[in-house]
Chains A and B, each alone.
Chain A
């Protein structure tokens, strides 16, 4: 027998085994058996009078197409599921050319994707049940497909080339989006992933003919596998963001808790610690704020499986701040611990906070707080927190009103206020899911800013990197434009009121101008304002109301002032009046 017919028979056996998914230890004996069959058939045909080459072709044809036989072997060794998935994606392809350099870089990017996705898996146990399950499926699918693509690309599979290019595109877009989101005036983040993937994509473009030749022998994969691969590629950047915006059905939402607030103002004999021992102050003013948080539903594994094993490191925080005459002062008289009304159990600590405090306005954090153990939250139970306050001085003091904020984990904040001897129900003012829907990072409640400088400006000089204000009192203040942000449409301001301050988001400049038709000394903000008790929330900041504050309209706590309302700032930076349309 000449070499050519023999080579023809051998190459047919090789083609079958290349795609047959045969375990390594069985490949050689099976090859020997198949080759022996072909050789015997060939010899029979030659003995029957056929030429050597024709006999080889006939023997190969009678044996069956290599793809069909390989498919049967895959099913035999691995079952139908393996044969129709990995068996299609992974077999070695008879490569028509040597491996182009871009393949190594695409595999490097795939390796990076595998590593990054693996890191993502570390944070999974702390997620709530539905998010945990969904993220787990997505990340495992993504890792599995990236590993398959990594291996298959080295074997010349066309689908893996497409997957690698797709991974580069995803990495590029994600890096750019991340950079846009994180970069601010004072910081710039460099999208290393985007730079790497852009370089690799350029390399792929430059080596297109070589890559095309490299995968030329690859078979097409079925449509449903293409869809699965596309999901594996796109789901990791998309699914966590979508899930963050959709409430986990296993977790309580703002609608599952009623926050009742009662403010009782009365007089009582109060025992205090005097210089010479306990003494009783007769008929002293007393304010008792009773906050009842009644849960109709409790969270299932609020800190995920990690919380189940390690215990929750979260918790709730309730805080109260009082609106009172700045001249007066109220102090916390007694601090009974928060209790579960139904069981009588102590469920937290007075004068303490939990990590959820980050959701509360600064004004509350300067007030009085309770920390609640979230493991104690039970459906149908009411948690009661009682704040008892008395005047700091012996003088009769104007009665205050109470503003109460309750933050549940990092999920939502419910707030409300109650004047003396009234009861009210709190309203949701923040939910992490809604904030996520708005894009960017969660929109935390506005805070009371620290005011660095407030005054009427007589001169403004704008330089490339800074703005210089000369105030009416003769003082001069410069702000770096890279460090400070502007809050409103007046940007760096004109000849009007300028407030330089800092809140949770960093340093800012707010500028307000007088308007025709309004009283002199009224520096106006025309934007949206939300009633926040002693404050009005506008431009993302809580602005204090001035003593003697008046308003043409009187929205409930948490409600927006009507469109067209104008907020008059005095030259000390407080809101004196709200003027209707």
Chain B
């Protein structure tokens, strides 16, 4: 039996959670995701970009370009007010789900 898998919505929620702390760019998000999940979540790095584009198109995050000396520009992402509400709702739903799952699986 395979372990639990992230669907698109869950992955988006995790990104919203990371960005909520501070503005981040793609490479930084991947590193943060790996570090905070202790490498449990270890997706191909490129998958973060379609997810970021989707969140941006849904109006949950917004990006801005920042020039970097001696290298390509970076696109930093921050939550929009709509994204903050979506994160709050998502957290709540996730907690209910996790509590229910814990109740069935045992702590």
8 Å CB contact of B27 from A41, A65, A69? A41
Size of the chain B interface, CB-CB below 8 angstroms: 20
Residues of A within 8 A of B65 (CB): 29
* Contact of B95 with A by CB under 8 A: no
Pair B50/A37 contact, Cβ less than 8 Å: no
- Show 10 A/B contacts (Cβ-Cβ < 8 Å), sorted by A: A30-B49, A34-B46, A36-B71, A37-B30, A39-B71, A62-B45, A64-B44, A69-B44, A69-B50, A76-B50
Residues of B within 8 A of A39 (CB): 71-72
A48 to B53, CA, bound (A): 31
Chain A residue with Cβ nearest B50: A72
8 Å CB contact of B49 from A34, A65, A68, A75? A34
Q: Mark B55-88, 1 if CB is under 8 A from A, else 0.
A: 0010000000100000111110000000000000
Chain A interface residue count: which class?
20 to 34
A interface residues, Cβ below 8 angstroms from B = 16, 26, 29-30, 32-37, 39-41, 62-65, 68-69, 72-73, 75-77
A30 to B27, CA, bound (A): 13
Residues of A within 8 A of B73 (CB): 32, 36
Q: Mark B37-56, 1 if CB is under 8 A from A, else 0.
A: 00000011111011101100
Residues of A within 8 A of B57 (CB): 76-77
Contact A63 to B53, CB < 8 A, known contacts A33-B26, A39-B71:
no
Pair B72/A16 contact, Cβ less than 8 Å: no
A503 to B17, CA, bound (A): 86
Query: How many A-B contacts are there with CB distance less than 8 Å?
Result: 64
Pair B47/A33 contact, Cβ less than 8 Å: no
Pair B54/A64 contact, Cβ less than 8 Å: no
Residues of B within 8 A of A63 (CB): 44-46
Known: A41-B45, A72-B51. 7 other contacts (CB 8 A): A37-B49, A39-B72, A64-B45, A69-B49, A73-B49, A73-B53, A76-B57
Query: Smallest Cβ distance from B44 to chain A, in angstroms?
Result: 3
A41 to B45, CA, bound (A): 10
Most buried by A among B53, B54, B73: B53
Pair A62/B44 contact, Cβ less than 8 Å: yes
Q: Mark B10-30, 1 if CB is under 8 A from A, else 0.
A: 000000000000000011001
A40 to B26, CA, bound (A): 11
Top 7 A-B pairs ranked by shortest CB distance? A64-B44, A36-B72, A72-B50, A64-B46, A63-B46, A69-B46, A76-B50
